[in-house]
Every structure is written in structure tokens, then in C-alpha cells.
Amino acid sequence: MRYFFKTLMLFFAVTTLIISATSMDAQARKITLRLGHPMAPGNNVTLGYEKFKELVEERSNGKIRVQLYGNAILGSDRVTMESAQRGTLDLASSSSPNMANFSKAFMVFDLPYVTSPKYQEKLYAALDNGELGKYLAAKLEKINLKPIMYSEYGYRNFVATKKEIKSVADLANMKVRTTASPVEVAVASKLGMNPTPIAWGEVYTALQQGTVDGEGNTFSLLNDAKHTEVLKYAMDSAHNYSMHILLMNKKKFDGLSPELQEVIVSSGRDALAYQRGITAELEAKAVEAFKAQGIKIHKLSDAERTEFVKLTRPVWDEFAKDIPADLLKLVQDTQK
């Protein structure tokens, strides 16, 4: 009888160890992906990444967990993208102007008036399924980054804290915040402004303290980031188009099973469709928020917009050596 009880106890002990080991192994197989981005809560880009997280976790049946770190908690675009390159962060998001730090190809989107809202759907198609997207993916994969989402950011508009801006003349000598994009800096210079590159997380304070007198960004982003608390004037210059691009460490992506790779790709595609769909609505709401805050928005006449186009067009020639002609053509082909 004593032998029987010893055998029974040994059986239960071994069974417990097996169950525990199996449970630990199952836990070990779960993958956690950390995603860092600089956007504020409620922003259209942030909402897109929240949808991406939801879809990935649902479609992977819990095998993948996505941890979101927004509002520049892990650092600026450049800092988080460098981390994604190294693999110390799994996914990172950067505005297309700041991506010029990693690949000069992205300068093409900074060219003033190279795209128009009128042809947005054609641009989307080229990025998502066309030669333009393939071209950019090849550039990115060479630097260990895999594109997941070309999130809609929108068209940048000039805004100011000190004086009304209704024309090019009103921008003269204005200290304007720019990204580190050399094209964006050149555009500001051509318009007579004094460009000051400042990381996104520091812009509110710079406006508040008078380090800069204005900036160029989408109305929805400025509203979400509470810049409306310090801004007084704006114009719908729509001088260049920006995206926020979600990128994944390529080695990390390649290390996933084909099934989980498809989860990442399909979730990115569907989250992107959702994100783009809400962008126009949020931008319209932001315009109303500007007005409610007492910010005066000047709508450029056709003649005034033509002057902007004419004055900034030399920037194209200035950066022709850095932007491959075939890439520029791929973008221009979407504008017909």
C-alpha cells in the first residue's frame, strides 16, 4: 500500500511538472511587439495604431500582443526609428519629413505642392499596391525596416502666434518651426521665414516661450496636441503632404512564421483603411475647434496660392540631385 501511494504521489508530481512546463512553453511562444510613436491621444495616426493593435491581437488569437507607447514617451520620431533599426524596439512611426534622415527618397513628399488632395486616392493606390510602394519598400528594407502602414497625416498649413498671416509677405522673417527635413527648411527659407528645426515634443513650449512664432502642420494634429491654446492665426497653405509611416524591424518581421507575418500585413492594411477614412472627418472637426478657440484662418485665393507655388518651385531644382528622377515621376504619375 505504501508503495502504491509513493507511486501515485510521483505520478502527480511529474504530471504537475509537465503541465507547468507546457504552460511556461505556451507563455514563451507568445510574442510582445513594442510600438513607439510621437502622436497625441485621439490623433488620427494614434487611432490607426490602436486599430492595428486590436486587429493583430484578434487575428493572432492572442499569440501576439502589441504594446503602444505614444505621445513621444520613448522619444522623437528619429530616436524611436533608430531603435527600430537596431531591434531594441519592434515598431516605430515617423513623419515622412523626418524619414529623410534615414532615406533621402522620402524627400520627394516634402517637395512643395508635388501632390494635391484632389488626387489622394491615386496616391494611396500607388503607395499600397503600386510601383511607388515597391520602390520605397526596397529602400527601407536595405536599412533593416519593413513598411507596415503609410498612415495619412495630411497637408501642412502655416500657423502663427503673433501676427495675422494672409500672404507670403506676412510670413517674412517669421521664426517657424520645421522638422529636420532639409526640403522643409528650404521651403521656409524661400518664403522668407527663419526656419528652426525642433523636435515635435518640444514645439508647444517653443511656441509658448516665443522661441518660434509659428509652424506648419495639419489642423487636426495641432488641435490634438493642444497647440490651439497658444496659436492665434492660420492659413490653409497646404504646402506639402505628409504621412506617418509605421515601420517594423525587418529581422523581427522575417523571424515570424508566415502565418503571423500575414497577420501583421493584413492588420496593417485594414487599420490603414480605417485610419484614412476618419482623417477627413477629424480635420474638419479641427477647423471648427480652431474657430471656437478664436483662431483666424485665412483661406488663400487662387492667385495667392499660385504665388506660393511659384516662390517655392526652385526647391525642386535645389534637391534634384538627392531625389531620383524615376521616383519623382512615380509620384507625379499619381497626380493626373
For the stretch 48-73, pLDDT in tens is 999 999 999 999 999 999 999 999 99
Indicate the burial class of 107 (C-beta count within 10 angstroms; 0-12, 13-18, 19 or more). buried
Distance CA(223)–CA(288), nearest Å, equals 10
Neighbouring C-beta atoms of residue 34, cutoff 10 Å: 18
| Grid cell locating 134 | 515597391
* 180 — pLDDT class (breaks 50, 70, 90): confident
- The mean pLDDT of 279-293, rounded to a whole number, is 94
- The mean pLDDT of 92-112, rounded to a whole number, is 94
Distance CA(11)–CA(6), nearest Å, equals 9
Q: Residue 312, SS3?
A: helix
Residues forming beta bridges with residue 287, ordered by sequence position: none
Which amino acid is it at 7?
T
Q: Residue 158, SS3?
A: strand
| Grid cell locating 328 | 519623382
Distance CA(151)–CA(147), nearest Å, equals 11
The domain ranges of the chain are: 2-329
Residues forming beta bridges with residue 145, ordered by sequence position: 249
Q: What pLDDT score does 161 carry?
A: 98
Q: Tell whether the model's pLDDT for residue 122 goes beyond 90.
A: yes
DSSP-H helix ranges across the chain: 2-29, 44-59, 77-86, 96-99, 120-129, 131-141, 168-171, 182-190, 203-209, 219-224, 250-254, 258-292, 302-312, 314-318, 325-332
Question: Rounded to the nearest 5°, which phi and psi values hold at 189?
Answer: -65, -40
* 5 — pLDDT class (breaks 50, 70, 90): very low
Q: Tell whether the model's pLDDT for residue 25 goes beyond 50.
A: no
Q: Which CATH superfamily is domain 2-329 in?
A: Bacterial extracellular solute-binding protein, family 7 (3.40.190.170)
Q: State pTM to two decimals.
A: 0.84
Which amino acid is it at 53?
K
